[in-house]
Amino acid sequence: MEYIKSKIRDVQDFPSKGVLFKDLTTAFKDPRALHIIGWDLSQLYRDKGVTKVVGIESRGFIGGSILAFELGAGFVPCRKPGKLPADTIREEYAKEYGTDVIEIHRDAIGPDDIVVIHDDVLATGGTMAAAYKLVKSLNPKKIYINFIIELSALNGRAALPADAEVTSLIKY
Ligand code: AMP
């Protein structure tokens, strides 16, 4: 874990003033850190019967794909509006300024699925809460929530459903 931490880059004032951005690209480009991230994420969900990993656009696609591959599960993208080609469902959620929308294919998940929703960073939790609602509306058997990094000071867990099982590899 210390090795992964040593490869995460802090970028001050990105994308806006006052934000300390946790940049995972420096960890993803490091072969050993990428391998450890994939392995450690998958250890959290071994033997849970996971059938699909949902990755949130766009940074959640990286860890989400690796996790799906490691678990022998399928990968499902949760995307910004207008990007998915077939029939979608959508969820609008509040951001610091204004609102945002995410979408998922209506046929991406079914009642037999056991799902992990993955994003790179838990900040305020708004994005993940919206993704959870989308996935929940497709009635899978079980939904887990996972992040590589959790920014504890922002208390994003409070925005997530109380009964959701949330894991993160690294807490700051
Ligand atoms: P949230 O506030 O939890 O809805 O975060 C929205 C998205 O912004 C997440 O998917 C993260 O990828 C990203 N994000 C927010 N804050 C940070 C941060 N300080 N460092 C890196 N990524 C962040």
Residue 106 annotated to the active site: no
The number of CA neighbours under 13 Å toward the Cβ of 10 is 8
Residue of 5, 92, 121, 166 to mutate, ligand 1, most atoms within 8 A of C-beta: 121
Q: Residue 88 Cα, ligand 1 centroid: separation in angstroms?
A: 24
Q: Residue 112 Cα, ligand 1 centroid: separation in angstroms?
A: 30
pLDDT at 98: 86
Residue numbers in the chain where pLDDT is lower than 50:
none
Beta strands in the chain (DSSP E): 9-12, 20-23, 52-56, 74-78, 88-94, 99-105, 114-122, 142-150, 165-171
CATH of the structural domain 48-171, one choice from 3.40.605.10, 3.40.50.2020, 3.30.1300.10, 3.40.50.720: 3.40.50.2020
Torsion sign (Cα): 118, 121, 122, 125? negative
- Geometric angle at alpha carbon 48, from 56 and 59, rounded to 5°: 15
pTM over 0.95, yes/no: yes
Q: Residue 142 Cα, ligand 1 centroid: separation in angstroms?
A: 24
Phi then psi for residue 153, to 5 deg, are -60, -25
Residue nearest to atom 12 of ligand 1 (CA): 121
DSSP state of 123: S
pLDDT digits (tens, 9 = 90+) for 7-56: 999 999 999 999 999 999 999 999 999 999 999 999 999 999 999 999 99
Residue 96 annotated to the active site: yes
